[in-house]
């Protein structure tokens, strides 16, 4: 069943400056479908541990719009599709080895090391999915000043108190399956403090789907909702990272 969408909880919108990222990429995917992208492996050291990562960038553009950390396993179709969508839209991406069990602090440090690889201040963004939701929220709270924007897909907040005031420098778009467990645990809990800070935010509520609507291996996968999510991701990042135009969901905070 195709989902319906209720756009809700838009926060204040602020101007964002365009910025670019330059990578010298070597090697390319052997898959013809991915011939427009180049992928290279890299390692960073955090707390004495070596962390393996993959950086993927457009093959025809040495200056992508920004660097996006995609949290999830590279073997999962939705991660690969997210990377492809971003690269097609002229973004570069970072994915970590799925076997690495990183804390939020380690994740933030590793991402920053990769972004700083060329010795310049680089625009950064983040995408996370259901299982990596708490980690992603914690990364944003730790490093809001570095991460300009984020898309959180069915991503629950961590348990306990959360420092929402740390998010004021990051624009966040989050998707929720109406009636799902993540919606029940995190929707109201997030939008009220984010409104009061305020921080730029746009919460998209999808009906007639479950939390894992994005996962092709799930019986709850919904193609149309997943495609809408991918489109909303690049729209949001273009607003905040590349100075583009886009629309955010209107909503009523109950404050007139």
Q: What is the pLDDT of residue 196?
A: 85
Does residue 163 carry a pLDDT above 60?
yes
CA distances in angstroms from 254 to 154, 178, 192, 239, listed in the order given? 24, 20, 11, 26
Compute the Cα dihedral for 14, 18, 19, 23 and give only its sign.
Answer: positive
**Is residue 122 very low, low, confident or very high in pLDDT (cuts 50, 70, 90)?**
low
Residue 252's pLDDT is 40
Query: What pLDDT does 119 receive?
Result: 58
Three-state SS annotation for 5-58:
EEEECCCCCCCCCCCCCCCCCCCCCCCHHHCCEEEEEEEEEECCEEEEEEEEEE
Short-list 146, 181, 149, 144, CA closest to 164: 144
Q: What is the DSSP letter of 157?
A: P
Selection from 28, 32, 22, 58 nearest residue 41 by Cα: 28
Percent of the chain, pLDDT > 70? 77
Among 148, 151, 191, 176, smallest CA distance to 11 is for 191
Q: How far is residue 83's CA from residue 11's CA, in Å, rounded to a whole number?
A: 27
pTM to 2 decimal places:
0.83
Domains of the chain with CATH codes? 5-241 (3.40.50.1820)
pLDDT at 191 over 80: yes
Q: Looking at 117-126, 143-152, 199-208, 247-256, which range is the least confident one?
A: 247-256
In whole angstroms, what separates CA 184 from the centre of its chain? 21
What mean pLDDT do residues 63-92 have?
A: 90
Per-chain mean pLDDT for the chain: 81
């Amino acid at each position: 069943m195709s989902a319906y969408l209720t756009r809700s909880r838009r926060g204040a919108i602020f101007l964002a400056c365009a910025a670019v990222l330059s990578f010298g990429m070597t090697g390319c995917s052997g898959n013809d479908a991915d011939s427009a992208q180049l992928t290279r492996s890299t390692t960073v050291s955090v707390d004495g541990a070596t962390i393996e990562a993959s950086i993927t960038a457009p093959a025809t553009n040495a200056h992508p719009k920004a660097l996006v950390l995609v949290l999830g396993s590279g073997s999962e179709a939705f991660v690969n599709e997210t990377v492809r969508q971003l690269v097609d839209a002229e973004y570069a991406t970072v994915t970590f080895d799925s076997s690495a069990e990183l804390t939020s602090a380690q994740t933030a440090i590793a991402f920053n090391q990769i972004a700083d690889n060329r010795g310049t201040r680089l625009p950064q963004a983040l995408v996370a999915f259901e299982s990596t939701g708490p980690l992603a929220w914690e990364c944003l709270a730790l490093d809001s000043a570095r991460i300009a924007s984020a898309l959180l897909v069915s991503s629950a907040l961590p348990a306990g108190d959360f420092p929402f005031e740390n998010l004021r420098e990051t624009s966040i778009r989050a998707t929720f399956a109406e009636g799902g467990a993540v919606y029940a645990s995190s929707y109201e809990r997030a939008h009220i403090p984010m409104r009061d800070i305020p921080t730029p935010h746009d919460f998209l509520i999808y009906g007639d789907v479950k939390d894992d609507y994005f996962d092709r291996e799930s019986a709850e996968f919904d193609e149309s909702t997943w495609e809408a999510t991918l489109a909303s991701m690049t729209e949001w990042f273009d607003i905040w990272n590349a100075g583009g135009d886009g629309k955010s969901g209107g909503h009523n905070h109950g404050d007139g």
